[in-house]
Amino acid sequence: AAALLRALRDGGRRTAVVSSSRNARAVLDAAALAPLLDTVVDGTDAARQRLRGKPAPDLFVEAARRLGVAPARGFVVEDARSGVAAARSGGFGLVVGMAGRGAAQAEALRVHGADLVCQELSELTVVNDPCPPALEHLDEIAARLGRGRPAIFLDYDGTLTPIVDRPQDALLDPPMREVLGALAARVPLAVVSGRDLGDVRDRVGVASAYYAGSHGFDIAGPNGERHQHPQAQARTAALDAAQAMLQARLFKVQGALVERKTFSLAVHDRLVADADLPRVREAVAAAQVANKGLRVQVGKRVHDFQPDLPWHKGHAVRWLMQAIDGRAAQPGGGQTGSAGAAAGGAAPADRLVPLYIGDDVTDEDAFETLAADGVTVAVLDAPRPTAAQYRLGSADEVRQLLNALAGRLAPGADEG
C-alpha cells in the first residue's frame, strides 16, 4: 500500500482513504500511511455529516469533494462488494476490485460493478502520463463504454484522414470507411467537423451516420433530419463580408486559401511561405475587427471564423446525444446540459456513453464538455496540452482503435 501511495503522490495524484470504521485514522497513523494521504473520510465523519454507509456512495463522494475532483475523474480501489457497488453508483471513473485469491469473490466484485479485478495492490502500476496511449488501454476504454450504450463521435481532418496541404485532398481510405460502416451498424456514430456539412457527409459516405458541419452549427441525421443553429443563420452576412474582405486582401498571397462553409469560414496558410505569414495574420485580424459577431479560432495552420455564439463542438455532441435519444430541440434552444440530464433519469445501462476522438483545438471544447461522463481521445502528432483522457498518434492508430472496438460491440448494440 505504501509503495502505491508514494507512486500516486509522486505523480501528483491526490489520494484519500474511505472507511466506515471510527478508528481508521489511528490505524493509518500506526502503519505510517497517514502522511501519504491527502484526506481520510471515516465513521466519525459519517456520523457528524450524516453520511450514509456503503453501498450508498456518500463516503466516496465526500472524499472526492475534499480532493477537489469530480467522481468521474477519480478511481476507487475496494475489496468489499458493497464498496464496489457504492463507487459504481457514485459515478467514479474507474472501480478496481481487490479479490485476493478467491475466484468467487472476483466474480462477485465484477457483478457488483468492478471494471478491473486484481489479487493484490502490487498488480496496479501508476503511469505518470496525463494522456496515456489509447491503444495500450483498450480494456479500460471498452469497460467504460460498456457502462451504458456507446455512441461514437469523430472529427474528420487529422482524425479519420491525415492532415494534407490542400483540404480537397483529404480523402477517406477504404479500410477506414469499412470500419466506420461496421461501427455505424452497431452503435450511433457521428462525424463532427469544421467542414461544410455536405462536404463531410459526401467524403465519409456512411448513410446511417449523423453529421455535424461548420463546427457543429449545421447538423443532419440519417433519416433526413436537418437542423441549423437559428442564431448562426443571422451571422451569415458577416461571414459573407469577411469572405469578400479576405479574398481581396489575400488574392496575391501565394498559397493562401479562403474556404467558405455554410456557417464558418476558414483561412488556410499551410502552403504560404513563412515570409508571407504576417500578411495572412494581418488580414485575419482586420476581417475580425471589421465584422462584428464573429470569433476566430486558430487551429493547425488554419484560422476559423465562426459565429460568436455560445455553441461549439461540445454543445453539438450534447445535442446529438439528445437527438439519438429522441429528445433534442433546435440547436441553440437550451437543451445542451449534461448527459445525465439528457438521459431524463434513464437507468445507467440505458444512458449513452460518448467516445469522442479529435485532433485540433476546436475538439478541446468537446473533450472538456465530455470529461465527466465520456471517453475522450486526442490525436497528437506532437506533444501538447490537451483535456483529452487518452491519445493516439495518427489516423492509422484511430482506425486501429475503432477496429478493435468494433470487434467488441455486438451488432445492434444501439437498439433498445
Sign of CA dihedral 136, 191, 228, 194: positive
Which set of grid coordinates corresponds to residue 161?
484522414
Q: Is 336 exposed, middle or buried (0-12, 13-18, 19+ CB in 10 A)?
A: buried
* Residues recognised as catalytic: 155
226: β partners: 220
Indicate the residue type of 330.
Answer: Q
Indicate the residue type of 10.
Answer: D
Nearest to 365 by CA among 413, 297, 274: 297
Query: Cα separation of 55 and 88, whole Å?
Result: 9
